[in-house]
Amino acid sequence: MSRVFITGSSDGLGLMAGRLLLDQGHKVVLHARNQNRANELRSKVAGAEAIVVGDLSSIAQTKSVAEQVNKLGAMDAVIHNAAVGYQEPKRLQTEDGLPQVFAVNTLAPYIVTVLIRKPKRLVYLSSGLHKQGDASLDDLTWERRKWDGTQAYSDTKLHDVLLAFAVARRWPDVLSNAVDPGWVATKMGGPGASDDLDQGHRTQVWLAASDDPAVKVTGQYFYHLKRRAVHPAAHDSKIQDKLLAACKAMSGLELS
């Protein structure tokens, strides 16, 4: 039996992953953006060990989420599921002056990774769109570039792979992998999504809690239980370290 924390688990793939883990007999800690969503989540899911609360677009609240999890004790795995999509027509700015999509999709998983007591496994949700991400990592916060929501989202999904692989390189005692759940018909994916929704949450659950020898790997990218090729830059340690340095500068936290 494993103990798993899932960010962004009040609906969509995060909620589906939580339910599947509970069905498999694991302990699950869920996360909601605010107290109202946490109250709704309690009515949706029976058996969760706890629900932590915090808006991951806020650096301060993301740090609080990590503190809440640490107070519960060590986790066997963390699934970094939380994300915002690319529908926004303009650069939505957070209280910290960052694009919302970057704050939630890139900086929040970095902060949580740094602050949460090191688990045995880490799973970062990416997307097939990561292959369109800008590997230069220039102007991460879109202060000079003309805003492009799809490109901004694609960039952050590349960041998630870079983060997963950087952690795999720096923490050899932790299994750290990235997942493409497919384009599925969640609230974020939209009704026109063409992938199998039932497969959208299974790979991250498998990587987080299975005893299958196939999951005992690190620094890999998966789609529907199988390894997939990634953006060539994802394995470049210099690019990984450039992202880590940028996240450190923004958050004040360093990945050991």
Q: What percent of the chain has pLDDT over 90?
A: 89
Output the pLDDT for position 194: 46
pLDDT in tens, 75-86: 999 999 999 987
Helix (H, G, I), strand (E, B) or coil at 129: helix
Output the pLDDT for position 37: 97
| Mean local confidence (pLDDT), 149-167 | 97
Output the pLDDT for position 131: 97
Per-residue pLDDT at 185 exceeds 60:
no
List the domains of the chain with CATH numbers: 3-251 (3.40.50.720)
Residue 187 pLDDT grade (very low, low, confident, very high; cuts 50, 70, 90): low
Q: When comparing pLDDT for 189 and 241, which is higher?
A: 241
Q: What does the block give as tokens for 152?
A: 């901004």
Q: Chain-wide mean pLDDT for the chain?
A: 94
Per-residue pLDDT at 107 exceeds 70:
yes
Q: Which residue is associated with the tokens 């990561």?
A: 130
Of 157, 221, 223, 242, catalytic: 157
- CB count within 10 Å of CB 20 equals 17
Closest among 50, 46, 44, 166 to 109, alpha carbons compared: 166
Of the ranges 3-7, 103-107, 189-193, 234-238, which one carries the lowest mean pLDDT score? 189-193
Judged by phi (left if over 0) then psi (alpha if -120 to 50, else beta), residue 52 lies in beta
**153: annotated active-site residue:** yes
Residue 182 pLDDT grade (very low, low, confident, very high; cuts 50, 70, 90): confident
Q: How many helices (H) and strands (E) does the chain have?
A: 8, 8
| Mean local confidence (pLDDT), 37-46 | 94
Output the pLDDT for position 162: 98
Q: Is 155 exposed, middle or buried (0-12, 13-18, 19+ CB in 10 A)?
A: buried
Contact 171, 163 (CB under 8 A): no
Query: N- to C-terminal Cα distance for the chain?
Result: 28
Per-residue pLDDT at 203 exceeds 60:
yes
Report helix angle 108-115 to 59-72, nearest 10.
Answer: 30
Of 86, 153, 221, 223, catalytic: 153
Q: Angle at the Cα of 33 (from 87 to 121), degrees rounded to 5?
A: 95
Instruction: Indicate the pTM of the whole model.
Output: 0.95
**157: annotated active-site residue:** yes
